[in-house]
Homo-oligomer: A and B are copies of this chain.
Amino acid sequence: MRQILTPSGDLSGEAPVDLEMTVRLYRAMVFARAYDRKSMSLQRQGRLATYAPFEGQEAAQVGAAASLEPDDWLVATYRDAAAMWMQGYPLELLFAGRTGHEAGGRPPDHVNVLPPSITVGGHMVHAVGLAWAERMRGSARIAMTMFGDGATSEGDFHEAMNFAGVFGVGVVFFCQNNGWAISLPRSEQTASETIAEKAIAYGMPGVQVDGNDVFAVYEAATAAVARARNGEGPTLIEAVTYRVGPHTTADDPGRYRNSDDSADWTKRDPLERVRIYLSEHDRWNEEWQSQVEERTVEQVEQAIALAESLYQPDPSHIFDSMFESPTEVLEEQKAELEALLEDDL
């Protein structure tokens, strides 16, 4: 398992980025954690529906997303808010769905990020089609898809990997192995030693990296993105990390794991090691960090307020996006609903 920055903040290999960039990556991770924690408290206040926290996975998401060009495709999941945000998905839209309405599914026109996948597995195949189409159209865009360890059990993982391998499509398969598929530990999901080695079955390279080491993640992701862009085909990256929190706010990990596990993992915290590294290079201080955190909390509060305001309770909200132009049946049903609502007044 490739590691560059040890949990204690020492380099065991060559840093893939300069201090400037390291600060940027760290800043993004600080943002991600503050965003995640704030979201948890908003959910407790009842302002968000179920939320899937990613604490502990900040380095994986930030390191991977940082390797993309602004217009590359990102096809990720309900747990990948940090990566989606880095690729340009506005905060308020990330919140919209969780405040209970659909407006969040439409990113700005220049942002090539699909709405987060709620079904496990199906979205990886989409990334293959996206990247393939870009190649057909002579564009240099590639696609990255993010998924969990559990998603590799689905048949669609197999079909996505196999198509990408056969047609040499420029896709980066980025797996965040956080140790759990809800209550199922990695060891009971598959009998393969690593997830990375599954790449052999598809004739593509597979690499396993310390998912809590943003340097290792960034290095592997950048190499895979380069391969994809150069037409050298797909890569599977397994970022070994840990889901420190519950599966979602509706989940109670106490039912299936003892708190020590998570405790161990906090020792391998993805932020702390970079903080040490930066402070040793005099690029970190307390108040800068708290500023970033406070700023994030403000942004999140603005974003969720905006998200809540985006919703217009209106039949058109339901009917008007089924087809480019609504069918007669949909018009009839919409009228039926509108009539009912008027009676209500």
List residues of A whose CB falls within 8 A of some B CB.
153-159, 162, 165-166, 168, 188-193, 197-198, 200-204
Contacts and interface: CB of A to CB of B under 8 A. Distances in A.
A202 B195 CA distance: 10
**Residue of A197, A201, A204 with highest tally of chain B CB at under 10 A:** A201
A153 B191 CA distance: 20
Nearest to A159: B155
**Does more than half of chain A's interface fall in helix, strand or loop, or is it mixed?**
helix
Contact of A165 (B166, B192, B197, B203): B192
A331 B328 CA distance: 39
B192 A200 contact: yes
Contacts of A193: 203
Nearest to A125: B155
A143 to B, nearest CB: 18
A191 B236 CA distance: 14
28 contacts: A153-B162, A154-B155, A154-B159, A155-B155, A155-B159, A158-B158, A158-B159, A162-B190, A165-B190, A165-B191, A165-B192, A166-B189, A166-B190, A166-B191, A168-B191, A190-B201, A190-B202, A190-B203, A191-B202, A191-B203, A192-B201, A192-B202, A193-B203, A197-B200, A197-B201, A198-B200, A200-B200, A201-B201
A226 B168 CA distance: 39
